[in-house]
Amino acid sequence: MKSFVQRVVETLSVGENKDRVSVVQYSRDPQTHFSLNTYKEKQNVLAAVQQLNHKGGKPLNTGAALDYVRKNAFTDSSGSRHQDGVPQILILLNGGRSQDDVASAAAALKQDKVVPFCVGTRNADILELQMIAYNPSYAFSVLRFDDMGSIHQQLVSFVKRVPRQQPRLKSHNVLDQTESIQRDIVFLLDSSDEMQSDFKAILGFVETMVDKFNVDENKDHVSVVQYSRTPSVEFFLNTYKTQQDVAANVQSVRYKGGTPLNTGAALHFVKDNIFTASSGSRHQQGVPQILVLLTGGRSSDDVRNAAENLRGMGVMVCVVGTKNADTLEIQSISQEASHAFFAADSSDLSGIEQQIFSVIKKSETPAVKPALYDPNRRDIVFLLDGSDGSQQRFPDIKDFVQRIVADLNIDANKDHVAVVQYSNTVETDFNLRRYSTEDEVLDGVRGLSHKGGYPHNIGAALQYVREHVFTSDSGSRLVEGVPQILILLSGGRSGDDIRTPVRMLKETGVISIAIGTTDADTLEMQTISHEPNYAISIIDYEALHTAKQDVLSLLRDASHHVEQTTPKNVFGKMQCFNLLA
């Protein structure tokens, strides 16, 4: 581990006005060996690393360590230059699953614009590392720590691509710089029996947040709803027009009580009854719609469809979980890890306010008006396993593609479809501009011939579709803001490296859905996919039909994303590195 750190430091340009390095070691608790402002020269950093002694201790509390570096290492007093926009980079070396929660600590780091990279051994939890990492491709897995040299070059390459940040606002109130911004904010509060003793603290949390908004008839509007078995509206978005009225009526909210906790029904309720024009929503005028959900337990009903429908209409969902809230459920509702927050109990809620403000600030950019949005305008590329191993099941693969196509809205100005096969090489069966009607696409799929070949070179296939299929010449409408979606089918582990092609495809703005059989590599599928939940596992290609509804659901979800292409310019040299081992 020390050798790996030294190799990384060797690639840096350490200096007072250049790169700075800190090292923290952790087990049960963290320990700073030296801070970002301790050493000004590379040889001093290298000597200090060489002198490190192993800390020892158990268990492994990665969450506490992440929280520690955020509060103690990436600070002005420790030499961080985050106020000047200098990239803040964390490199985590990890050999096992954390014994505490990492999700909220990781989200808080990202909210503070820290970019985490993770390197874990086979005893580490790769999904945990992907959650911590800035994106899943920034999480690396090696068999043993003495194998870390194999990923050294790629890690350094990624690190050097981290861009400068906008300087952080020094004001405590993130929203006070944007007085002209309009927002519709709905607070949905868990008032089930289990939350009775915490309800006063929850109202205090809402009150503090409202105090930071700019409530006015032509600026921020606020609504409050509480729920347990059923929802109950305290006031609508158009009920109160002043800060004082909203604050006073938050204070007067009375605890509702009830059981069970039906979060799914509550989400449906706010979509159908609060985020509407009659209740004061300005969605039709392009005003950002924001939902802040506070929940203290697992829902008794399904939340997935309700959350998907909210996101489908453009609502930004932030979720605060406390007490017995379910981590996976909260993440599925919020969709983005950076929009999910966790507090052990209601006394910890105050620490989350500023993080939510940072997320809400993203809504400064005016929302796209619904009149300009067409959910059936997508460029969808099927990348099919055409290897020798899929030959017998190729009719099932074709049938699956036809089933998906039948649920699309194919037209010259709506959905476009392309089909590509891969094995050891890649071939385009038809590109995005070839067909403009459903019948033409279905005929094209029926006429597919199995390609053959071995092995599965998925990396080369991903690079091929980026360079030859998701292009204007081949019919891609990326420059028009049309979502670019890839549906990959894989029946085995890739024979080549996928990481660089995956990263480049994501930077292009392509949203990938990966479907793998039991012979495929699960981690590989999750790495390729837009997010881990965009990876679908099936027994074999004969069972492809069982994945249809999941794929259609993900397609609807993906339709609302237009990824921004990462600039390809060379970034500044000043960086702050924290190595957490």
pLDDT greater at residue 360 or residue 224: 224
Q: Establish if 229 belongs to a structural domain.
A: yes
| Contacts with 255 (C-beta within 8 Å, 6 or more apart), sequence order | 191, 196, 199, 226
Helix 327-334 × helix 304-312 angle, to 10°: 20
Where on the phi/psi map is residue 445: left (φ > 0), alpha (ψ -120 to 50), or beta?
alpha
Q: Are residues 335 and 362 in the same domain?
A: yes
According to the model, what pLDDT value does residue 562 have? 53
Residues 442 and 495 in one domain: yes
Backbone dihedral region for residue 450 (phi beyond 0: left; psi -120 to 50: alpha; all else: beta): beta
Strands laid side by side in the 426-430 sheet = 426-430, 416-422, 379-385, 484-490, 510-516, 535-537
Contact 72, 32 (CB under 8 A): yes
Q: Do residue 149 and residue 277 come from a single domain? A: no
Evaluate if residue 526 carries a pLDDT over 60. yes
Do 121 and 202 share a domain, yes or no? no
User: Which residues constitute the domain of residue 386?
Assistant: 379-558
168, part of any domain: no
- Cα 443 to Cα 331: distance, rounded to the nearest angstrom: 40
pLDDT of residue 198: 87
pLDDT of residue 568: 33
Q: Residue 566 domain-assigned?
A: no
Distance of CA 102 to CAs 59, 112, 353, 548, Å?
14, 16, 18, 33
**565 falls within a domain:** no
Residue 370 confidence (pLDDT) above 70: no
Give dist(CA 483, CA 500) in Å, integer: 21
Tell me the per-residue pLDDT of 140-169, one tens digit each, with 9 for 90 and over.
888 887 877 778 888 888 887 777 665 544
pLDDT at 131: 83
Report the amino acid identity of residue 302.
Answer: D
Using alpha carbons only, what angle is made at residue 284 by residues 282 and 288, rounded to the nearest 5 degrees? Answer: 55
Among 348, 370, 392, residue at a domain's last position: 370
Residue 126 pLDDT level (bands cut at 50, 70, 90): confident
Cα 506 to Cα 171, 448, 535, distances in angstroms: 34, 28, 15
Summarize the confidence of residues 567-581 as an average pLDDT.
56
**Residues 270, 275, 277, 283: what is their CA dihedral angle, to the nearest 10 degrees?**
-170
Confidence of residue 358 (pLDDT cuts 50, 70, 90): confident
Cβ(481)–Cβ(442) below 8 Å:
no
Look at residue 569 and tell me if it is in a domain.
no
Q: What's the pLDDT at 542?
A: 93
* 484 and 446, same domain (yes or no): yes
Residue 180 confidence (pLDDT):
55
Which of 370, 395, 412 is at the close of a domain? Answer: 370
CA distances from 286 to 6, 314, 505 (A): 51, 10, 30
Is residue 119 located within the same domain as residue 64? yes
Q: What is the mean pLDDT of residues 362-370?
A: 45
Tell me, what's the pLDDT at 181? 77
In this prediction, residue 123 has a pLDDT band, given cuts at 50, 70 and 90, of confident
Q: Report yes or no on 236 lying in a domain.
A: yes
Residue 27 maps to a domain: yes
Give the chain's mean pLDDT. Answer: 86
**Among 39-43, 163-167, 326-330, which range has the highest average pLDDT?**
39-43
With beta carbons less than 8 A apart as the criterion, state whether 74 and 578 touch.
yes
Residues 6+ apart with CB under 8 A from 110: 116, 134, 337, 338
**Inside any domain, residue 187:** yes
Lowest-confidence pick of 13-22, 96-105, 307-316, 437-446? 307-316
pLDDT at 447 over 90: yes
Whether residue 390 sits in one domain with residue 470: yes
317 shares its domain with 253 = yes
Q: Are residues 366 and 256 in the same domain?
A: yes
Q: Are residues 359 and 394 in the same domain?
A: no
**Structure pTM?**
0.40
Q: Mind listing the pLDDT tens digit for each residue in 167-188?
A: 544 434 444 444 457 899 999 9
Of 241-255, 346-360, 477-491, 561-575, minimum mean pLDDT range: 561-575
Mean pLDDT of 220-241: 93
* Residue 124 near residue 97 (C-beta atoms within 8 A): yes
Last residue of a domain, one of 313, 338, 370: 370
Residue-level length of the chain:
581
Which of 506, 525, 513, 523 is CA-nearest to residue 565?
506
Q: How many domains does the chain have?
A: 3
Q: What is the CATH number of the domain that holds 300?
A: 3.40.50.410
- Say whether pLDDT at 87 is over 60: yes
Neighbours of 433 (CB within 10 A): 16
Report residue 444 as tokens: 């094209």
Is the predicted pLDDT of residue 571 greater than 70, yes or no? no
352 and 311 together in one domain: yes
Taking 70 as the threshold, does the pLDDT of residue 563 lie above it?
Answer: no
Give percent of the chain above pLDDT 90: 48
In this structure, the answer to whether residues 223 and 361 fall within a common structural domain is: yes
Three-state SS for 520?
coil
List the beta bridge partners of residue 381.
Answer: 418, 486
* pLDDT value at 371 more than 50: no
Given pLDDT bands bounded at 50, 70 and 90, which one contains residue 560? low
Residue 564 clears pLDDT 50, i.e. is over it: no
